[in-house]
């Protein structure tokens, strides 16, 4: 190592230690005190425990990867943001930790907003519970994620009864790489109208742009706001290793192309209209999912492959092209696979290029519903038990075992994430016991 290199490293280490030494802690009791701070990398803002009523917090600053700026509850879960309180995050490498929104509602903005200028920011260990406007037709989001490389993790969201998607990842002309992971999304009742999604990634206007968002290791518990639990409206997204428990709806590739839904668990427990995965668009990949006890049909079948509009507008139904559906385990579902779901006088364009292979379907009332003939596709190497054989299927030979409460292929067992990971905030247990009937 040269003398110049050693000198550079020593200088770098000295500056890092100096910056850390200069970092300050601030204890605050209202939003005005937070706004007044001139924060630097490594600073920590400690919110005093108590009821923060009608506080519109702007948390602003620029930290670094090694020295983020932190806004943290004095004691997790004991900073109660109530009334018309909201939080806006603006800057880089900002972390928000341990807050609780309850006993109130927003009058206009999202409850938590990552601004368009935010990047590498994080909300963790935080909850929004029953934060509802008295008028259920009043539309605001609980979380709006603009910016790039932002993360929402180990939070709890439950009881949204008013209009509007709970969490939206908003798009721009650049990918956002948002991460939504290890959260508990609790019960949401049926709104009876559109706008009751739990997560939406993009909009129809931006649907031909890529997002590269990830939604992983979350629990969705009785999320029944509307037909779409997660609505994918952009390209190159990953929905993986989540649990959808007794949810009346589907994970929907609504607009955009090249996304993936994999390694998820859909447990319906025979609740009416529980659904699985609905496919629209091009090059969507659906593999290694576990779907059991789902009663939905057609658009809410375990796997629903839609018919499309001819020359569809951006907000319409685009033709399904080249979907790859493989290695899914479908057990005791009313309709396992529907080809050409939603067919009507307007939705006349059938799916093309379908690959349906290496799936296992057991004891489903209907194996495949053909609303359309199969065009330029293949159904091969699938296994079936408890239903009449069709082309592309053979009798199931691998042994299935009951492990961790679910059926798994012997020798390929894995422990579901909710039995080993921390889901939601660490200061309160939100998820209830998962019972598979």
Residue pLDDT, tens place only, 47-102 = 999 999 999 999 999 999 999 999 999 999 999 999 999 999 999 999 999 999 99
* pLDDT tens profile 105-121: 999 899 999 999 999 99
List CB contacts of 85: < 8 A, sequence separation 6 or more.
52, 53, 54, 55, 56, 57, 101, 104, 111
Contact yes or no for 142/167 (Cβ under 8 A): yes
Residue bearing the bigger pLDDT, 186 or 431: 186
- Average pLDDT of the segment spanning 165-183: 98
Q: Which sign does the torsion angle of CA 279, 369, 300, 308 carry?
A: positive
Q: CA-based angle 260:434:398, to the nearest 5?
A: 60
pLDDT at 3 over 90: no
Residue 111 lies in a domain: yes
Residue 226 lies in a domain: no
Residue 117 lies in a domain: yes
Cα–Cα distance measured from residue 205 to residue 176, given in angstroms and rounded to the nearest whole number: 16
Q: How confident is the model at residue 1, as a pLDDT?
A: 53
Q: How confident is the model at residue 20, as a pLDDT?
A: 56
pLDDT at 8 over 60: no
Rounded percentage of the chain residues whose pLDDT exceeds 90: 89
Residue 276 lies in a domain: no
DSSP string, 372-385: S--BS-EEESEEEE
Contact yes or no for 96/89 (Cβ under 8 A): yes
Read off the tokens for 35: 């706004």
Q: How far, in whole angstroms, is CA 381 from its chain's centroid?
A: 31
Under the banding of pLDDT at 50, 70 and 90, the label for residue 27 is very high
Q: How confident is the model at residue 388, as a pLDDT?
A: 84
Residue 74 lies in a domain: yes
Residue 269 lies in a domain: no
What's the domain count of the chain? 1
What is the reported pTM? 0.94
Residue 242 lies in a domain: no
Give me the chain's average pLDDT, please: 94
Contact yes or no for 67/89 (Cβ under 8 A): no
Residue 350 lies in a domain: no
pLDDT at 5 over 90: no
Domain, as residue range, for 126 = 23-164
């Amino acid at each position: 190592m040269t003398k110049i290199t050693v000198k550079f490293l020593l200088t770098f280490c000295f500056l890092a230690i100096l910056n850390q030494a200069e970092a300050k802690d601030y204890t605050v009791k209202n939003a005005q005190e937070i706004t007044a701070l001139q924060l630097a990398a490594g600073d920590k803002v400690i919110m005093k425990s108590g009821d923060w009523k009608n506080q519109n917090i702007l948390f602003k600053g620029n930290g670094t990867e090694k020295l983020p700026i932190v806004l943290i509850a004095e004691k997790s879960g004991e900073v109660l943001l109530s009334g018309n309180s909201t939080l806006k995050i603006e800057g880089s490498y900002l972390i928000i930790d341990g807050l609780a929104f309850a006993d109130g509602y927003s009058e206009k903005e999202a409850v938590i907003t990552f601004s368009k200028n935010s990047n590498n920011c994080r909300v963790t260990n935080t909850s929004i519970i029953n934060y509802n406007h008295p008028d259920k037709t009043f539309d605001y989001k609980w979380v709006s994620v603009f910016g790039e490389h932002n993360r929402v993790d180990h939070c709890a969201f439950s009881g949204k009864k008013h209009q509007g998607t709970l969490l939206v990842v908003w798009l721009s002309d650049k990918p956002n790489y948002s991460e939504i992971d290890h959260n508990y999304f609790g019960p949401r009742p049926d709104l009876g109208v559109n706008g009751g999604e739990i997560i939406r990634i993009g909009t129809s206007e931006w649907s031909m742009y890529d997002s590269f968002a990830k939604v992983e290791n979350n629990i969705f518990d009785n999320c029944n706001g509307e037909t779409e639990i997660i609505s994918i409206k952009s390209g190159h997204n990953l929905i993986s290793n989540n649990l959808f428990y007794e949810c009346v709806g589907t994970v929907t590739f609504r607009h955009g192309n090249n996304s993936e839904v994999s390694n998820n668990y859909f447990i319906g427990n025979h609740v009416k209209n529980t659904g699985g995965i609905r496919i629209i668009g091009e090059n969507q990949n659906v593999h290694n999912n576990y779907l059991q006890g789902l009663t939905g049909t057609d658009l809410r079948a375990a796997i629903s492959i839609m018919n499309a509009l001819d020359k569809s507008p951006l907000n319409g139904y685009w033709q399904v092209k080249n979907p790859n559906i493989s290695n899914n385990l479908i057990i005791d579902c009313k309709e396992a696979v529907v080809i050409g779901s939603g067919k009507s006088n307007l939705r006349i364009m059938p799916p093309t290029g379908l690959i349906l292979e290496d799936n296992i379907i057991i004891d489903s009332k209907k194996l495949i519903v053909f609303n359309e003939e199969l065009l330029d596709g293949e159904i091969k190497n699938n296994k079936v038990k408890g239903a009449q054989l069709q082309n592309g299927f053979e009798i199931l030979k691998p042994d299935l075992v009951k492990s961790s409460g679910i059926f798994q292929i012997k020798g390929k067992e894995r422990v579901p994430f909710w039995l080993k990971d921390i889901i939601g905030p660490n200061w309160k247990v939100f998820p209830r016991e998962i019972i598979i009937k």
